[in-house]
Chains A and B, each alone.
Chain A
Amino acid sequence: EPEVTQTPSHQVTQMGQEVILRCVPISNHLYFYWYRQILGQKVEFLVSFYNNEISEKSEIFDDQFSVERPDGSNFTLKIRSTKLEDSAMYFCASSGGGGGFTEAFFGQGTRLTVV
C-alpha cells in the first residue's frame, strides 16, 4: 500500500538553528500538507501546497516557515530559526490522485524537540 514517509523520525535542535523536515508524499498525489501537533494539543493545519506553490497557510505559518518541493518527489518544511514553542510532532500529508478530492494520507510524523 502506498504511504507517506517522513524523515527523520526525531530531530533535536538548538534554539535559533534552522531545521528541515523531509517528506516523500504518495507518488501520484497532487496536494501536499504540513500539520503539527504540540504535545497534548490538537492537530493544527500549517500549510497546503499545490502546483508548486502554497495554496493556503495558517496564521502559525509565519516568515520563519517555508516549504519546497525541490525535486518532484520530496516535500520539505524548513523552520529558519527555531523557537522552543516549535517543539511538536510534525505531520506531512498528501491527497488528490488527480481524480478529485481524496482523503489526506498522513506520514508517521517527525518529532521536533527544540532545546
Chain B
Amino acid sequence: DQQVKQNSPSLSVQEGRISILNCDYTNSMFDYFLWYKKYPAEGPTFLISISSIKDKNEDGRFTVFLNKSAKHLSLHIVPSQPGDSAVYFCAASALKTSYDKVIFGPGTSLSVIP
C-alpha cells in the first residue's frame, strides 16, 4: 500500500537546466508535504515543505508545487547543479490525524551531468 509514490526511480539532467521531480499521493488526509534529499551513506536532510493551504512554495533554486485536486506535487530545481545529484524523497504527513508520522515515497535518484 504505497501512499506516496514517486514513479520515476531515476532522472538525468544537464547542468543549468531544470530538474522536475514528481510525486503522487493517495491519502486525501495528507495536508503537509516535504521533500528530503539524501546523499549516499548519510541520513535524509530536509529540503523544502508545503502546506495544503498553499499551491507553491519557493526557496532559492527550489520550488515545490502542489495540486491538491490531482493529489500531485512536484519539486523544481532551477538551475540544476552537479551538487544536486542525490536521491530525493517526497514525504507526506496528515497533521490533523497522525501528527507525528511522515510517510516517505520510494525516492528518485537525480543525476546532474556537468
Contact = CB atoms under 8 A, between A and B. Distances in A.
Interface residues of B, number: 23
A43 B106 CA distance: 7
Interface in A27-76: 31, 33, 35, 41-45, 48, 50, 55-56
| Dominant secondary structure of chain A at its interface with chain B | strand
Interface string B26-39: 00000010101000
B104 A48 contact: no
B107 A42 contact: yes
Size range of the interface on A? 20 to 34
A104 B104 contact: no
Which applies to chain B's interface (DSSP): helix, strand, loop or mixed? strand
B45 interface: yes
Contacts of A13: none
Contact of A103 (B43, B49, B106): B49
B45 A96 contact: no
Nearest to B44: A106
Contact of B95 (A45, A48, A101, A106): A101
Contact of B100 (A4, A91, A95, A106): A95
A49 B99 CA distance: 11
Nearest to A107: B43
A48 B100 contact: yes
Given A45-B102, A50-B100, A106-B44, A101 B93 contact: yes
30 contacts: A33-B102, A35-B104, A42-B104, A42-B106, A42-B107, A43-B44, A43-B107, A45-B102, A45-B103, A48-B100, A48-B101, A50-B100, A55-B99, A55-B100, A56-B100, A56-B101, A91-B43, A91-B44, A93-B43, A95-B100, A96-B100, A101-B32, A101-B93, A101-B95, A103-B34, A104-B102, A108-B41, A109-B41, A109-B42, A109-B43
Given A45-B101, A103-B34, 16 more contacts: A41-B106, A42-B107, A43-B44, A43-B107, A44-B104, A50-B100, A56-B98, A56-B100, A91-B43, A93-B43, A101-B32, A101-B99, A103-B46, A108-B42, A108-B43, A109-B43
